Structure 1
Amino acid sequence: MNSSSERSMAVSASRYRESSSFIQSKLSSVIGSMSKIVERVDNYAQDVREHVRIGSKITETVKGKLSLGAKILQIGGVKKIFTQNFKAKEEEKLLKVCQCYLFTTAGPLAGLLFLSTERLAFCSERTIKVCSPNGECIRIHYKVGIPLERILGARESENVKQPSRKYIVIVTDDNFEFWFMGFLNHWRTIRHIQRAVYHV
C-alpha cells in the first residue's frame, strides 16, 4: 500500500470517528431533552390527577370546572373577576391566576388563586352559606386577600400519608398560615409566588 492511500484511509478513519462522536453527542442531547419532557409531562399528569382527586366526586368537580369556565367567559375574563372581587386599583397588575383548593377546617374549598403586584388573593368557585346570629342566612364567595408585604414566605409541604398531595403554605407576618393545594402546576406556582414576595 502506498503512502497516499494510507493517508487517505487515516483521514477517512479520523472523519468517521469525528462524525461518530458528533452523532453520539447529538443523540445524548436529544435523549436528555426527551427525558426532561417526559418528566414534566409525568409531573403535570400527576398534578391533574391530584387536582381532580381532591374534589368530593369527579362529576361534581367537572361540573364545578365547567361552571367556573362559563362564569369566566360571562364576566369577561379572569382579570375582571379579580378586579370585581378584590377592588383592584388601576396600577395593580395581575401576574398569575390558577385553579386550586384552599384547605379549611371544613375541608378543601375549590377556587381561583390570584397573584398580583400587590397581593395574593383567593376566591371560591361556589358560594358558601353564612348565617348571622339572628338566623338570617346568605350565600357569599369565600375570599382571602393577603397584601404581599405581609407575606413572610411561601413554602412547600406534602402530606406524609399521600406524598403526591403537595401544599403551598403561605405564612403571614402575624404567624397565620394559609394552605393551598391541588395546583395543576405546583412547582411553577410556588416559584411565581416566591418571586413576587421577594420583589416587594
Structure 2
Amino acid sequence: MGGVDKVFMKYFSVIKGERLLKVCHCYLSTTSGPLAGLLFISTEKVAFCSERSIKVFNKKGQMCRMRYKVSIPVKKIKSVRQSEDVEKPRQKYINITTVDNFDFWLMGVSKYHKTYKYLEQATSQT
C-alpha cells in the first residue's frame, strides 16, 4: 500500500472492496477562496482533503485546526462537466453536481484530462 492510499484511508472511511483509482492535486472552490489539496477518486466516492488545516471554532469559542474534507458517494453524483474560462482558455475547471444540486468546483487540476476521464469512469459505474 502506497503513501496516498494511507492518506486516503486515514481521512476517509473505506468500505470493503473499495479501490482507489486516481489521486491528483487541485484546488476546491469555497466561499472563503480556493483551497489546495488532494482529490481522491475511488470506486465508491470522490473525496477532497485540504493540504493544510483550517481554523474553526467550537461552541465554546475555542479555536481548533482541522482538515477541510469533502466526500461525495459516486451514487450521489448527477453530473461531471468540464469548463474553461472564455477569456483565459488555459484555466480549466471541473464541476461536480450532486443529485441534491450542490455544486463543487475544482480548479488547477493536475493532469486535467486524465482526472476528468477517471471521474467519468467512477460515476458511470453506478
**TM-score category, normalised to shorter length:** over 0.9
| Aligned equivalent of 1:185 | 111
1:101 aligns with 2:23: no
| Aligned equivalent of 2:60 | 134
Q: Which one-letter code corresponds to 2:46 in the other structure?
A: L
Distance 2:8 2:39 in 1: 9
Q: Which one-letter code corresponds to 1:87 in the other structure?
A: S
Q: Which runs of 5+ in 2 are unaligned?
A: none
| Aligned equivalent of 1:70 | none
More strand by share: 2
Over residues 52-85 of structure 1, what are the superposed CA-to-partner deviations in whole Å (9 max), with x where a residue is unaligned? xxxxxxxxxxxxxxxxxxxxxxxx6000110110
Q: Which one-letter code corresponds to 2:11 in the other structure?
A: N
1:82 aligns with 2:82: no
1:144 aligns with 2:79: no
| Aligned equivalent of 2:79 | 153
Q: Secondary structure at the match of 2:34?
A: strand
Shift of 1:167: 0.5
| Aligned equivalent of 2:46 | 120
Over residues 100-158 of structure 1, what are the superposed CA-to-partner deviations in whole Å (9 max), with x where a residue is unaligned? 11011111100000011100000000000001243111000000000000001100111
Q: Which one-letter code corresponds to 1:93 in the other structure?
A: R
Distance 2:59 2:90 in 1: 41
| Aligned equivalent of 1:9 | none
1:111 aligns with 2:37: yes
Identify which of 77, 87, 92 aligns with 1:166. Answer: 92
The normalised TM-score by structure 2 is 0.94
Shift of 1:87: 1.7
Shift of 1:160: 3.0
Shift of 1:162: 2.3
Report the RMSD for the aligned CA atoms in angstroms.
Answer: 1.1
Larger radius of gyration: 1
| Aligned equivalent of 1:175 | 101
Q: Which one-letter code corresponds to 1:101 in the other structure?
A: Y
